[in-house]
Chains A and B, each alone.
Chain A
Amino acid sequence: MTEFKDEPKNAAPVKCSKCQATIKGTAVCDFCKSLNPAAASLDFFSLLGLPVVFDIDPAELRRRYLNLSRHAHPDFHVHDSQEVQSLHLQVSSSLNEAYQTLLDPASRAAYLLERLGGKSSADDKSVPDGFLGTMMMMQEEVHEAVDAGQAEELLRLREVLQTQLEGLVRRIGELFQQHQEAVICQAVTTDILNEIRKQVNAVSYVKKLLDMTR
């Protein structure tokens, strides 16, 4: 997915266009429940009203996404002014992207990593030690199975890759936990973030291979 967001502007509170109350980094106004005119530029966690952590409850994520969608979805504003419609179109599309990004642990990790100031995948392409070797072997096996049309072998490989993916995501969870503790202790977090970058990069490799098994 192409990154196109402007820098999140959570810090700057805006005035509600309807009731003039101050909205601080939430998608809807606390008082009159109308949409924050700057909602589309909120970061995904703030937009959905979630704490900026890796470990989120998928059910809570979905509940918030659906509730906010009822405010923002263009279906409910087809007879409003062009300006209002355009705002709802923007916010609704941000909500959809935010939900999809945070729902999948791998994309959530990548998003959170950059949100916390980690390097982007373009700046740091490294992967954990020994990972590339394993992947080369797997890739060869997948290619062979695809070329020979071995459905059962592909199914087996998919399971192996799936297990690998789950392992990486677990590891990423632990690292984010360590990062949080380090922040509390005001310790240096650069190494942890760099390690997360490697694991997240590894996840992209595994996902690409998984796609090839389909």
Chain B
Amino acid sequence: MSKLLILGIDLGTTNSLAAVFKPGGPVVIEDAAGQALVPSVIAFSEDSKSPAGGEDATLKITVGSEARAHAVENPTATVFSVKRLIGKTIDDVREDLSVLPYAIVAGPKNLACVNINGHIRTPQELSAIILGEIRDRAEAILGRKVTEAVVTVPAYFDDAQRQATREAGRLAGLDVRRIVNEPTAAALAYGLDRKKEEIIAVYDFGGGTFDVSILQVSGGVFQVLSTNGDTRLGGDDLDREIINLVTGEIRQRFGEELAFPPATRQALRNLAEAVKIKLSSEDHAAIAIDLGNGRSFERTITVEEFESLAGRWVDHTIEHCIRAMDDAGLTSADIAEVVMVGGSTRIPLVRRRVAEVFGREPYTAIDPDRVVALGAAVQAGILAGASRETLLLDVTPLSMGIETLGGAMGKLIMRNSTIPCSAAETFTTYVDGQTSVDINILQGERELAKDCRELGRFQLRNIPPMPAGAPRVKVTFVIDANGILNVSARETRSGREATVQVTPAYGLTKDDIDTMVKDSYTHAIEDMTQHRLIDVRNEVNRVLVAIDKALVNAGDILTDQQRETLDAAVADCRAKQESCEDPDELYASMKAANDAAAPLTQAQMDAVLSQAFKGRAMEDLGPQISKDEE
């Protein structure tokens, strides 16, 4: 492995995970139990058992499966689907308000924020907690420090959403070296070993977002031809259909006034998700809900019913597919393969409709939950200099322009332009001696400025005083390889740089972020050791449970000596679990136990692999089984 380690992170609406690029190809990071997916769920609770003790009880933050498991008991302090909120205003997320059990409030600049027991948290801070958890796990498993990352976002994310994601990385102490589009990442993982020149489509239907991208793939070159999508269309919407059906019928039967407290809403969400998953493999699913006071609701949902509810959402995805083909100037006959990404592509209706529109069976041989992280790792490999043969040419999903006289949108960069790309526009003054000009930057496809997304107001300052119309201020707009806009300006008559003051319409200014980062450092220094100790203890617990489980399943494969080493290491770790106050020492002990359990893990993984890939040709397996060791 190269000296430089950049972590590839798929920061998903429902689940997040990481992968790294190894000489043999990208590898997903799994814990001792083979788990890679971390639910993107955060739970906040007052920690009574805090090591700080008694009166100074600290806020305990848990992330992942544990947080998810307690969502029903703790509905208002459990946050999920943060990705639906990031980079958006409260007005953008009105529809989500009634479904999400936690409180969404307007923060600074009308940004959608989350109120947890009186603490207002931005989606950036919340995403940072998830990113931090993913990083911590990766560090524990890789046994080295991680400071750089590639983070994926939906291709259809706009500038504000991309900026916000990068800010989240920064808050988590990660240098986000690249924001990569999820369908592009998937294509990277899919096509890495393919030599043949072909055009592929990536259909990415996730928990909260939908993207479709068309790419030309040939000899290590991945060129995106077009992309289309909707950043608020995902599996969550299908869950919501089921929830609405059930709550509607419950109200009909037991009275309109029946309220659904947050805990019930959370339980309904879990139920809807379970129903959806069940209906992917069976033709009906039974529901039973205890409403208290001796009232209960039972019902069976059939696949047909579910499909009629899900139909309009799936139809929307198909419309985006058609638009993407149109934009690329192609028809379905030109598409050689349709790669399916995201958990929602497991739904049979989705697969049928995709097969219809592209006129071919979609490619489902790669794990739709992991392929994006694998692709992020490939991109990380490119950035780290490990792979010079691979060239990624992505596009900007939305047109960028400025507000012109009369409130129209004057497009400067068209959607689907290959990034990086740039455009320039010359501005002048209207009044003698005027020294500053305001410009409103927009993103979107609509004709009127008010229908487009306002990215920010840019103020050109320090223009030399001249008669009206004399100054020529050339403003250059550059969309970089992250799909993020950068602006610079120069007064061409005098050759002076005009200062560009960027005030993002949404999101945070650089100063805001700096303050937040500083704050988190201040706190970090105060209780870093204690937090680390708690984290390592949790990790120890997980590792010990996983080893016990593995011993039951495959303990007999160990040689006597291996068994002896493992038992000693486990005993040491168990003894130190509660008593040891030094996180580093405890970590070392845990690592020893984990290392000693390696033969077990390998045996289990082999068993799982041979189970999962039974009857499939080797070349269908894709890069995720690459077992290269460093």
Contact = CB atoms under 8 A, between A and B. Distances in A.
A189 interface: no
A94 B476 CA distance: 13
Contacts of B221: 66
Contacts of B439: none
B478 interface: yes
Contacts of A66: 221, 391
A74 B481 contact: yes
Nearest to B379: A75
B230 to A, nearest CB: 19
A95 to B, nearest CB: 9
B414 interface: yes
A79 B414 CA distance: 29
Contacts of A89: 420, 478, 480-481
B424 A70 contact: no
Given A2-B412, A2-B424, A93-B421, A76 B481 contact: no
By secondary structure, the A interface counts as helix
Contact of B178 (A2, A69, A78, A93): A78
Contacts of B414: 1
Interface in B380-426: 382-383, 385, 388, 391-393, 412, 414, 417-425
Contacts of B392: 73, 75
Nearest to A92: B420
A78 B418 contact: no
A100 interface: yes
Interface string A90-122: 101110110110000000000000000000000
A214 interface: yes
Nearest to A3: B424
Contacts of B417: 96, 100
A1 B413 CA distance: 7
B177 interface: yes
B282 interface: no
Interface in A54-100: 66, 69-70, 73-76, 78-79, 89-90, 92-94, 96-97, 99-100
A73 B391 contact: yes
A99 B476 contact: no
B391 A69 contact: yes
By secondary structure, the B interface counts as strand
Nearest to B221: A66
Interface residues of B, number: 29
Contacts of B178: 75, 78
B474 interface: yes
B4 interface: yes
B478 A93 contact: yes
Give chain A's interface residue range (CB within 8 Å of chain B). 20 to 34
B425 A2 contact: yes
Nearest to B424: A4
Given A75-B178, A79-B4, A214-B326, A100 B418 contact: yes
Contacts of A97: 421-422
A63 to B, nearest CB: 11
Contacts of A73: 391-393, 481
A96 B481 contact: no
Nearest to A96: B418
A62 B419 CA distance: 16
A2 B392 CA distance: 26
Nearest to B4: A79
Contacts of B420: 74, 89, 92-93, 96
B220 to A, nearest CB: 9
Contact of A4 (B382, B419, B423): B423
Interface string B1-12: 000100000000
Contacts, number: 66
Interface in B591-628: none
A89 B476 CA distance: 13
A140 to B, nearest CB: 22
Nearest to B395: A96
B481 to A, nearest CB: 5
Contacts of A75: 178, 379, 382-383, 391-392, 481
B423 A1 contact: yes
Given A92-B420, A96-B418, A4 B476 contact: yes
A124 B420 CA distance: 32
A70 B379 CA distance: 14
Contacts of A90: 422, 478
Contacts of A1: 414, 423
B383 A78 contact: yes
Contacts of B382: 75-76
A103 B167 CA distance: 37
A93 B480 CA distance: 8
B418 A99 contact: yes
B498 to A, nearest CB: 16
Nearest to A97: B421
Interface string B416-459: 01111111110000000000000000000000000000000000
Contacts of B412: 2
Contacts of B474: 4
Nearest to A90: B422
A96 B421 CA distance: 7
Interface string A157-180: 000000000000000000000000
A2 B420 CA distance: 16
A97 B419 CA distance: 9
A2 B423 contact: yes
Interface in B38-74: none
A79 B178 CA distance: 12
A149 to B, nearest CB: 15
Contacts of B4: 79
A59 to B, nearest CB: 11
Interface in B166-191: 177-178
Nearest to A76: B388
Q: Across chains A and B, which 9 residue pairs bring their CB atoms closest together, nearest first?
A: A4-B424, A96-B418, A93-B420, A93-B422, A74-B481, A78-B383, A93-B421, A92-B420, A75-B382
29 contacts: A1-B414, A2-B412, A2-B423, A2-B424, A4-B422, A4-B424, A4-B425, A69-B391, A70-B391, A73-B393, A74-B481, A75-B178, A75-B379, A75-B383, A75-B391, A75-B392, A76-B385, A78-B177, A79-B4, A90-B422, A90-B478, A93-B421, A94-B422, A96-B393, A96-B418, A96-B420, A96-B421, A97-B422, A100-B417
Interface of B: 4, 177-178, 221, 326, 379, 382-383, 385, 388, 391-393, 412, 414, 417-425, 474, 476, 478, 480-481
Given A74-B480, A76-B388, A100-B418, 13 more contacts: A2-B412, A4-B474, A69-B393, A70-B391, A73-B481, A75-B382, A75-B481, A76-B382, A78-B383, A79-B385, A96-B418, A96-B420, A96-B421
